[in-house]
Amino acid sequence: MKTENWHFENGSFAVHIEGEGPPLLLIHGIGPGTSFHANFGAVVPALAAHRTLYGIDLIGFGASPRKTAPPLFDFPLWVRQAEAALRRIGGDRVDVWGQSMGAAVALSAAAASPVVRKVVGTGAGGGMRTVNPVLERFWTTPTSAEAMRAAMTGAVYDAASLTDAQVSARFELLSQEGRGAYFAAMMAAGREAALQSGWLAPPLLGRVEADVLLVHGRDDRPVPYRDSALHLLDHLPRARLMLLGRCGHNPMLERTDEVTALALDHLLN
């Protein structure tokens, strides 16, 4: 995998590229210590056998630079970043896969970009307007590896599915170069306001021409399917929802093989 630095009108961002075949843009969610690798690492090997993957780190996360002025939680900026990535990739078709708030970014970009023909959204955000206690805890900056594990535990169905390596990797990234303080500052303006900035109104969803596959854990506590996935399903012109029992917020990590098969079936057919 190679990493490039792409420029657009609002700055620059990191893009991780791997694989062969038609392009697939991957957009991660929002959380402490998250990044492209943290969200999509489990599915990259299988996807790269069929697609050229372009995994972006959103501004403020992973290898991308951070903003220097508020708002640090900047949903419109992340949408512009995704749109810039679509333009840079070029061609007449780029499919997109977004996780959590990254799915809301993906759908927003798809609404304005006819080159997006298919979208996958896992644990998709964009439908919630109220922060629940589990999401509140997840969006609170952990100050230790134990606190990181506690925050991540709320997002999975089975705590045993979390490995020490996953927890350590996210906490180590969060601990580098003031990233923890940056994430805390990002959420300082209010989690309700942050969440509502990523809410997708029915008219916007109605402009999404792409075929959309939503894969959601039935037991997703930070982003319950009734609060988000059903809103998206109600208003997207061409969408279907696969609801997975005994599964939490990131189906890619908890049900890797099943979710990969579902996504490839959607993308390749």
Residue-wise pLDDT for 163-177, tens only, equals 999 999 999 999 999
Q: Are 89 and 6 in contact (CB under 8 A)?
A: no
**Rounded distance between C-alpha atoms, residue 256 and residue 122, angstroms:** 12
Q: Are 211 and 268 in contact (CB under 8 A)?
A: no
Average pLDDT, the chain: 97
**Rounded distance between C-alpha atoms, residue 82 and residue 55, angstroms:** 10
- Which of 159, 158, 162, 157 is CA-nearest to residue 219? 157
- For residue range 226-251, what is the model confidence (pLDDT) as tens digits? 999 999 999 999 999 999 999 999 99
Q: Where are the beta strands (DSSP E) in 31-103?
A: 52-56, 95-99
Count of alpha carbons within 13 Å of 22, Cβ hemisphere only? 14
- Average pLDDT for 63-77: 97
Q: Is 33 left (phi over 0), alpha (psi -120 to 50) or beta?
A: left
- For residue range 95-148, what is the model confidence (pLDDT) as tens digits? 999 999 999 999 999 999 999 999 999 999 999 999 999 999 999 999 999 999
Q: Which fold has domain 2-268?
A: Rossmann fold (3.40.50)
- For residue range 47-63, what is the model confidence (pLDDT) as tens digits? 999 999 999 999 999 99
Q: How confident is the model at residue 161 (pLDDT cuts 50, 70, 90)?
A: confident
For the chain, give the percent of residues with pLDDT over 70. Answer: 100
- For residue range 12-33, what is the model confidence (pLDDT) as tens digits? 999 999 999 999 999 999 999 9
